[in-house]
Amino acid sequence: MDDELTALAAELAGRLKQAGGSLATAESCTGGGLAQILTTIPGSSTWFERGFVSYSNLSKHEMLGVPADTLARHGAVSAAVAQAMAEGALDRSHAEIAVAITGIAGPGGGSADKPVGTVFIAWAGRQRRSEVRRQAFTGDRERIRRQSVAAALEGLLRYLANTLA
């Protein structure tokens, strides 16, 4: 899967360079895995603006401006929080687009409503409405995290097609 992630990151890099755009990331359950794969691409400093790893609720609030009442009402693993994370990453960066990932990678922490593998990914742009998708991934912790990174990259490519073009 690393080759797949690298290929997706390289495609994203090409599109961002061509459009003159830049990207910020906000990650929770992936713990910086998305930023890590993006920065394996040579020259990433020209389009990767910054990354936030906000694992705790407090960090989501302090670093990204996610409202405490949103966290309390919806929980850290929710569409509302993913969207607020992506929009917060935009507000706290100079990037044109941002992506956020929050979820339950396991092995524990799931519930009937939000089982292990539940992940919300949000994309935000300065010139476009935010989008959020709920994903249901399977496998162990590492597999769920990798699937989350892949889905975030694939979603960025779709989002870019309508944002920076």
3-class secondary structure, 165? coil
- For residue 16, what pLDDT is reported? 96
Contacts of 35 (CB under 8 A, 6+ apart): 25, 27, 48, 51, 53
For domain 2-163, the CATH architecture is: Alpha-Beta Complex (3.90)
User: For residue 107, is the peptide bond before it cis, meaning its omega torsion is within 30 degrees of 0?
Assistant: yes
Are the beta carbons of 134 and 120 closer than 8 angstroms? yes
The overall longest dimension of the chain from CA atoms, in Å, is 44
- For residue 161, what pLDDT is reported? 87
Residue 39 burial (10 A CB sphere; 0-12, 13-18, 19+):
middle
The upper half-sphere exposure of residue 68, i.e. CA atoms within 13 Å in the direction of its Cβ, equals 2
Q: What is the pLDDT along the chain (165 residues), one digit of tens a residue?
A: 589 999 999 999 999 999 999 999 999 999 999 999 999 999 999 999 999 999 999 999 999 999 999 999 999 999 999 999 999 999 999 999 999 999 999 999 999 999 999 999 999 999 899 999 999 999 999 999 999 999 999 999 999 987 665
Domains in the chain: boundaries: 2-163
Q: pLDDT tens across 11-43, in order?
A: 999 999 999 999 999 999 999 999 999 999 999
Helices assigned H by DSSP within 20-140:
33-38, 57-64, 68-74, 79-91
pTM above 0.75, yes or no: yes
How much of the chain, in percent, has pLDDT values that exceed 70?
Answer: 98
